[in-house]
Amino acid sequence: MASKVTGRQATLLRVLVLSGTFFLAAGERVKNKIYDEIQGDMACFKRFNGTHEIGCTSKFFGNTGVLHVIEEKADFDWVYEHGPHQPYVLAFTPLFLTEAVLERATDSGKVSGVVVVVPEDFDPETQLLDGFSGETECPDAYLGLYNASSNPDYAGYCRKKPWNPNGTSMLYTSWEFPIFLITNQTSVNNIQNCFEKFNKPVNGMPRDWPLCSLELKSNMYGTTNSEVCMRRASIGPLSTDNFCDPLYDYNIWGTLKPMNMSEEIPEKSVIIVAARMDAATMFDNISPGANSAVSGIITLMSAAAAIFKHKEEIINVSNKNILFILFQGETWGYIGSSRVVWDMEQGQFPYKVKDDVKDQIAQINLTHIDYFIELEQVGQPEDINKLYIHTDPISNANPELKNETDNLLNILDEASNLVNETKFVRVRKDVPLPPSSIQSFLKHVNISGVVITDHEGEFKNPYYESFLDNYRNVKYEADNETSDADLYHKHINNVASVLATAIYKLATNTHKKITADPELTNELLFCYMKNMTCNLVQEYGGEMAKHLEPKPAKLYVSVESGERYRSYVTMYLMAGLLGDEVERNQSDCKIESIYNMNHFYYFSHLHNGTCVQTTVRMTEAMSPAFLIDDYDWKSGEYSTWTESGWKLTKVMIFLRPSVLEEVAVVCGGVVSLVLSVIVVHFMNSRADLLFGLSTPPAAC
């Protein structure tokens, strides 16, 4: 009994001492003392299509290497020919981010990773003279209208005269090492200082250990292609891991007037005005798409808002309706537009017919489409007042359709004359369309439509689908939402005005000059180009706005619920622009069913609470390939892009001692362990002698 108590006391004492040391040590983990974590959220990651994998992955435990900052071309030679401390992690500015550099790094076998650092003073305009685009020279050609099998006459056009001559296809290449983009200035300086202090060769001679090293972690779960990783995600009893997920988001759209299923929609009565919602880069968490997406999105929004002010006039005299739509995932094989066409063909756009839903929204199908006006890149015209109109040579070979298209072109010309700020120039009729959503429609139906861009031939945007396609690229200069000095928003506003004027004429057959609101245009531009926590987003975004950062909008389509806050905020903004305020309090301001023709949104931060009735909604933008049973992944009919799953991406910087020192430390540890075991054993066997205790009587 007595011994039991002492035993318990001893345990208590031990616990106290242990916890005491624990609190005294106050737990900074050894790991945190060794490693310094720097910006690692912009990793190049893996994506898959039906046949290939693209992007980057690290090894399971990450890739480490000795840091080497490349300042000039000769530094590469030094690493490959003289550098003794392989593997290296190379750090360089976007100046060296070319296919040739990355290929040489792969071939050398001495490189285990790359970080692309963007110092604050890096100016692409003066330093990157050749432009930089991760896209191919013919973006989206493989799933477009002019592929080799369907339209051989036009298939070769882009190969002879590429739309995107700066295209490097870097986005579509599979790299053997991880690549990170680092824009945080503290991290950039950290890398530079550590390199200069420890690693920078002196007179061409390598420095000795310890050397500054980097560890890059971005291990991707998926492999091979979409077919393989989608299959793996679906089988196995423990399949909670996401090997890969289909690219997924929402098309955001609304019509000028609500469409009730009880009223028939006349054929050729819906004018579609479309723009592309998404942009892409090689890296996670950065996809500004200033010209490739934002210019079109804001022009569309601004024009929609301007037209909506004349809603009653249009409804009273015309049976035409106008559908404003932002297509999502167009970069990755026209996901959004091909889904809308597929749904229309299946008779389920926007939804299948539901029983027992009052005031249900009508189904729209391909025969209801009248004209199709699409805004692609419109933000970088060479001559500030000049934009180009593209038409499709194949469908316009039909004389009837050509008449309609000519009518559309004339109306656009008249509108531009009326507004008198922006001139439209027609591109030669035998030139096929540039990459555009209307191609998805033209693959299935003959409609007359135009694509409005800032380029006649090759893109004016030197940074198409890259992280450099930001507000600097389009020279958007406003520092706040009310800046009037900026010229860019005036240009976008002019385009929106011409567009609105043309739409008014198309719908009502009467001329009327409609001017878009430049303040609204600037506010919208400011939000998407510079800061997604802007006033408009605060007013309309509701709960969703809280999840956005004070940064440019991230426009990558992403996977299901990957970037949904951005999409919801965009939908709410559209709802605000294409909606009527109604007298309803918060509790009544909600929809009975998503199948209703009208939706209600409550904006609690707008004028102390506002209820808006609108037709704006979002519908799924996921490629039909993932809905069709037994879809042939290699058929090339629909987009098959998926994104790999991963657990984390991070970059750590640390000082690495020489191998000898590392071995010495480990050996020292082993020796001291063995010694302590021997000492304890010795003390135990001589306990009587050392502590003067008698051995306790044996139990039982």
Partner 1 sequence: MNVERLPNERKLAICRKYFMAGFALLPFMWAVNAIWFLKEAFWATPYPEQKQIRKYVIVSGIGAIVWLVGLISWVIIFQQNRSNWGATADYLSFIIPKGIP
How many other C-beta atoms can be found within 10 angstroms of the C-beta atom of residue 412?
24
Q: Least separation, in Å, of the C-beta of 241 and partner 1?
A: 6
Closest to partner 1 by CB, 235 vs 660, is 235
Structure token digits, residue 406:
């000519």
Closest to partner 1 by CB, 221 vs 351, is 221
Q: Least separation, in Å, of the C-beta of 221 and partner 1?
A: 4
What phi and psi values does residue 165 have, to the nearest 5 degrees?
Answer: -65, -20
Q: Least separation, in Å, of the C-beta of 233 and partner 1?
A: 9
Q: Least separation, in Å, of the C-beta of 249 and partner 1?
A: 25
Closest to partner 1 by CB, 230 vs 256, is 230
From CA 82, how far away is CA 325, in angstroms rounded? 57
Q: Least separation, in Å, of the C-beta of 174 and partner 1?
A: 12
Closest to partner 1 by CB, 61 vs 691, is 61
Closest to partner 1 by CB, 78 vs 221, is 221
How many other C-beta atoms can be found within 10 angstroms of the C-beta atom of residue 407?
13
Closest to partner 1 by CB, 56 vs 574, is 56
Q: Least separation, in Å, of the C-beta of 273 and partner 1?
A: 44
Closest to partner 1 by CB, 218 vs 473, is 218
Q: Least separation, in Å, of the C-beta of 631 and partner 1?
A: 15
Return residues touching partner 1 (CB under 8 A): 57, 60, 219-224, 228, 231-232, 235-238, 241, 243
Structure token digits, residue 501:
């004027």
Please report, to the nearest 10 degrees, the dihedral formed by the alpha carbons of residues 138, 135, 375, 407 taken in order.
Answer: 0
Please give the C-alpha separations between residue 193 and each of 35, 78, 186, 198, 653, in angstroms, as whole numbers.
15, 20, 10, 9, 11
130: DSSP letter: T
Closest to partner 1 by CB, 129 vs 235, is 235
Closest to partner 1 by CB, 57 vs 615, is 57
Q: Least separation, in Å, of the C-beta of 284 and partner 1?
A: 17
- The one-letter amino acid code at 212 reads C
From CA 543, how far away is CA 547, in angstroms rounded? 8
From CA 193, how far away is CA 367, in angstroms rounded? 64
**Start-end of H helices in 295-445:** 295-308, 311-317, 335-345, 399-419, 438-442
Rg (CA), the chain: 31
Q: Least separation, in Å, of the C-beta of 216 and partner 1?
A: 15
Q: What does the DSSP assignment read for 181-241?
A: EE--HHHHHHHHHHIIIIISPBTTBPPPSSEEEEEEE--B---S-HHHHHHHHH-STTTTS
Q: Among 349, 340, 322, 356, which Cα is nearest to 277's?
A: 340
With 0-12 / 13-18 / 19 or more C-beta atoms within 10 angstroms meaning exposed / middle / buried, residue 260 is: middle
Q: Least separation, in Å, of the C-beta of 640 and partner 1?
A: 16
Closest to partner 1 by CB, 45 vs 565, is 45
From CA 642, how far away is CA 54, in angstroms rounded? 10
Q: Least separation, in Å, of the C-beta of 58 and partner 1?
A: 9
- The one-letter amino acid code at 115 reads V
Q: Least separation, in Å, of the C-beta of 225 and partner 1?
A: 10
Q: Among 259, 312, 315, 249, which Cα is nearest to 280's?
A: 249
- The one-letter amino acid code at 417 reads N
E strand or H helix at 87, and its extent?
A: none
Closest to partner 1 by CB, 219 vs 521, is 219
Q: Evaluate the CA torsion angle 159, 377, 499, 250 in order and state its sign.
A: positive
Q: Least separation, in Å, of the C-beta of 626 and partner 1?
A: 17
E strand or H helix at 247, and its extent?
A: none
Q: Among 258, 250, 256, which Cα is nearest to 599's?
A: 258
How many other C-beta atoms can be found within 10 angstroms of the C-beta atom of residue 388?
24
Q: How many Å from the N-terminal Cα to the C-terminal Cα in the chain?
A: 13
Which residue is it, tokens 């893109």? 459
Q: Among 294, 268, 371, which Cα is nearest to 553's?
A: 294
Q: Is the peptide bond before 87 cis (omega within 30 degrees of 0)?
A: yes
Instruction: Give SS3 for 112.
Output: strand
Instruction: Give SS3 for 116.
Output: strand
Q: Least separation, in Å, of the C-beta of 89 and partner 1?
A: 20
